[in-house]
Amino acid sequence: MPEASPAVLGDSFIYLSVVVLICGVVAITALNFGGTLTSGYVRFPALVAVGLLIPLSADAAVRAWRSAWVWLPIDRPRGLSRFIWAAVLAATFVVSVIAVFFFVTA
């Protein structure tokens, strides 16, 4: 059964997640090769990754929250675990917003 109000990102969620993954790999590899956080080849991919992680984590939190309420009457432990996932994704959202401010002001 299709959702009555699907999440905002819909099918583009996976493609944006791949971009975040690639940008994260590039930034971490640059750091491992001796780059600093203030260098452009670390900052730019990290800023792109964190900037995309904000809507991705918000969208995933909404999906987990909705899923939790659907699962509660059917399988209570599974529903409660979805609430935990929603809380973790909300924390990811907050940390991502803080990281954007860090990378912009650094």
Please check whether residue 64 is in contact with residue 85, taking contact to mean a CB–CB distance below 8 angstroms. Answer: yes
- pLDDT given for residue 2 in this prediction: 58
Domain segments of the chain as ranges: 13-105
Cα dihedral sign, 69-70-74-75 = negative
Query: Cα torsion for 69, 67, 93, 16, to the nearest 10°?
Result: -160
Reference 55, options 6, 10, 101, 106; nearest CA is: 10
C-alpha–C-alpha distance, residues 18 and 53, integer Å: 11
- pLDDT given for residue 1 in this prediction: 46
* Prediction pTM value: 0.81
Given a cut of 80, whether residue 5 has pLDDT beyond it is no
